Amino acid sequence: MRILALEFSSSRRSAALVEDGRVLCRAGEDLQRVKGPVSLMTDVLGQAGLDTQAVEGVAVGLGPGSYTGIRVAIALAQGLELGLGARLLGVSSVESLVWRAWLEGSHGDLAVLIDAQRGELYAARYHVTQLGVEPRQPLALCSRAQVQRWVEEGAILLGPDLDEIELPVRPLYPEAGMIGVLAAGSADFVPGQELTPIYLRQPQFVKAPIPRAIPLLNRPSATDDAHQPGNAPAKHPAADNPEPS
């Protein structure tokens, strides 16, 4: 299957074309070189000499991360599903990061971190060997103090866009090529409406109060009254009894 992979969950957005588990070409951007999501898609297809009609599946990195970026990638995928009948898959961006670390030769106790704002981190912990990746702690919201304890236990931290936190984090960004490779080994296709960002916090909604009716705004104006049947404008008394000249 020819898969277009989109990874927009961090400040370094990327797209890749993957066929039968092999990355054919990539396109990326960063804060200094912004191409835009549609340009990334067309660039990567152009490198392969193909157009969107050649896309059979779309894989999207679901984060967690930039909620807006992930929603943009999902919207593109949904458009390709509607327009071309492409099949859709969602892949955890955190899972793609740990497998990318494995591919680059990182072994041991690894913790993948994503900034969750509000002084918290999305974090998952793995034991990584030459043979593969073994989950140790599933993705959860964690405090910095908890992650600091992992460091004291010997964990290696990695993740994107974490320059400002006071932890020894190795910069590593999710990349569309790995999203596509992981998707190629999966058959967990979903309809577009079920493709949603990974978000661990419970949604909090504040119900808006019922709008108050303002009677004055609903009353017809004098002009409107004049044009209603049976509502002829009142005459001045002098109109029927003019003064003698």
Walk me through the domains of the chain, giving residue ranges and CATH numbers. 2-194 (3.30.420.40)
Per the prediction, the chain carries an average pLDDT of 86
pLDDT band at 236 (very low <50, low <70, confident <90, very high): very low
Taking the C-alpha atoms of residue 163 and residue 5, their distance in angstroms, rounded to an integer, is: 27
Average pLDDT over residues 27-44: 82
Taking the C-alpha atoms of residue 176 and residue 59, their distance in angstroms, rounded to an integer, is: 9
* Contact present, 125 and 151 (Cβ < 8 Å): no
Q: What are the beta bridge partners of residue 121?
A: 115, 142
pTM for the whole structure: 0.80
Q: Which residue has the higher pLDDT, 142 or 214?
A: 142
Tokens 């990349």 — which residue? 175
Beta strands 57-61 and 22-28: pairing type? unpaired
- Per-residue pLDDT for 203 more than 60? no
Beta strands 156-159 and 108-115: pairing type? parallel
DSSP structural state of residue 197: -
CA distances from 240 to 190, 231, 235 (A): 80, 18, 8
Q: Which residue has the higher pLDDT, 221 or 161?
A: 161
